[in-house]
Amino acid sequence: MRKILSGLRKAIEEYHLIETGDKIAVGLSGGKDSLCLLSALCEYKKYIFPNFDVMAIAVDLTNGENNYEDLKNFCQQNAVNLEIVPSNVFEIVFDIRKEKNPCSLCANLRRGLLNSKAKELGCNKVALGHHRDDLIETFVLSLFFEGRLATFKPKTYLSKTGLTVIRPMIFVEEKDIEKIAKNFPVLRNNCPADKHTQREEAKQVLAALEAKYPGCKEKIFNAIIHTERYNLF
């Protein structure tokens, strides 16, 4: 956890992600990344910067089929309130719309429900568990499948809702999250598209490149975050 906290602190301080008086809703999917983020923010609040509030919001995509008892216990152990938002997102995406590439619609629906609940609960920020590998994969996805140079930002203000979305783990590597994931009550992924998405393809492409050109992921990451290095027209 020490390495996770180091990366978290670097992102928070470098991009001014958390300020005194913030009420932050962590989007808790039940995956290793969001559980790690919640745990790290609670540690950060306890030992480094106590002047903000944290809560968790889980959007139930399965219309009640998921069992959230372990997540509830995890949140209680961290003195965090958990709100569960019921939805039929999977039904809309897979049964009604029958999406061939479901991730985009699913993400949009999920984010809408998460942000609406966060606003309702008086939060001013939403924290998401995206890490360094996600940043690189999103860049590759945008380049290969959309023909544009783009990825997500560590901090984004949503003018329609008045919420600010923060991603405090962008300096954290997935392999470091995996090392401590055994300590988390990871919720089984019920998505029919799991491991069969364009993001999974991007992950495999990057793994192959890293195997052939060691250190290339680090170079891609640095090229993204150091805007002073851009030389595009």
Residue 102 burial by CB count (10 A; 0-12/13-18/19+): exposed, middle or buried? Answer: buried
Domain around 103: 2-229
Q: pLDDT truncated to tens, each residue of the chain (233 aa)? A: 899 999 999 999 999 999 999 999 999 999 999 999 999 999 999 988 889 999 999 998 887 778 899 999 999 999 999 999 988 787 777 777 776 777 778 888 889 999 999 999 999 999 999 999 999 999 999 999 889 999 999 999 999 999 999 999 999 999 999 999 988 999 887 666 666 688 889 999 999 999 999 999 999 999 999 988 888 88
Dihedral sign (CA 224, 128, 132, 144): negative
pTM to 2 decimal places: 0.92
Residue 135 burial by CB count (10 A; 0-12/13-18/19+): exposed, middle or buried? Answer: buried
Q: List all residues 6 or more positions away from 118 whose beta carbon is below 8 Å from its beta carbon.
A: 25, 57, 126, 163
CATH code of 209's domain? 3.40.50.620
**Number of domains the chain contains:** 1
